[in-house]
Amino acid sequence: MIEYLLIALTPLFGGLIYGVQRVVKARMQNRVGPPILQPFYDMFKLLDKEVMIINNYHIIFAIMHLLTLWIVVAFVILGKSLLYVIFLHLLSSIFVVLAGYSVKSIYSHMGSNRELLSIVAYEPILILVAVGFYMVNGSFDIETIRSNPSTIASMIALFVAFLLTMPIKLKLSPFDATEAHQEIVGGVEVEYSGVFFEILYMAKWIEYVFIYLLLILFAGDNYFIAFGLFAIVFLALNLVDNATARVRIDSLVKIVLGFGLFLSIVNLIGLHYV
């Protein structure tokens, strides 16, 4: 019963994480910043905005992106197979790519192109992370992974590779090239308005929950390590976001796929011979 309540409240948790992030970033920049609940205020404002529908596919893909992400988080909370989770997450990303291609805006197409390249960068690493969990725990089931001791010591290189993927999914520097407001006016989001932009906005919150749920899998059954990982990585990501400039999309792929894939393979080889 508690699991289903957590699933239902996923957008609320994601909005709170996003709100706290905005406050933390403001403090790091010596600004007062918005209140923690500002994301929810923004959502209510979006409901009053005029809705412009480009075509039905544009809307359908956005809704499917949100629903698939929500199912992904539900699978994680319910302890389903990590492989199913990763492939469903890939499907949710494909939906947002198709949404960008479904309109004629050049900025939307550029956003979809960059989303595809970012998928090329992070998806192999997520799959190898799942393989690493299997080699350590003997199962892809998230429930089994959560019931065993922490794997961060034996999967440290895979953990670092996973950290490289987090800024991509959270749209943080230096790997926020898929959004890049200064260059492509927000990427695939550019043609959305009103309640349909709110759908993508809420999907972003759910993405936050998903990424941090994957992060704390490295803590296993140790809640102290899980909280420590969340707090340290949360602060570190925002510090890096404030201190670095965006890299080009080709550099993103080279850094994340090249270095991350190397670390992942080395770690898997080590697990095989241990």
pLDDT of residue 82: 96
Spell out the residues 6+ positions from residue 250 whose beta carbon is closer than 8 angstroms to its own.
Answer: 117
pLDDT of residue 184: 52
Contact 262, 127 (CB under 8 A): no
**Quick check: 51 pLDDT over 60?**
yes
pLDDT digits (tens, 9 = 90+) for 90-113: 999 999 999 989 988 888 888 899
Query: With the C-alpha atoms ordered 155, 172, 187, 95, is the resulting torsion angle positive or negative?
Result: positive
For 171: left if phi > 0, alpha if psi spans -120 to 50, otherwise beta; the answer is left
Instruction: Show me where the domains of the chain are located.
Output: 2-273
Percent of the chain with pLDDT over 70: 97
Collapsing DSSP states into helix, strand and coil, what is residue 180?
A: coil
Model confidence, pTM: 0.93
Residue pointed to by tokens 């969990």: 133
Number of residues written out for the chain: 274
pLDDT of residue 181: 60
pLDDT digits (tens, 9 = 90+) for 144-166: 999 999 999 999 999 999 999 99
d(CA 180, CA 171): 9
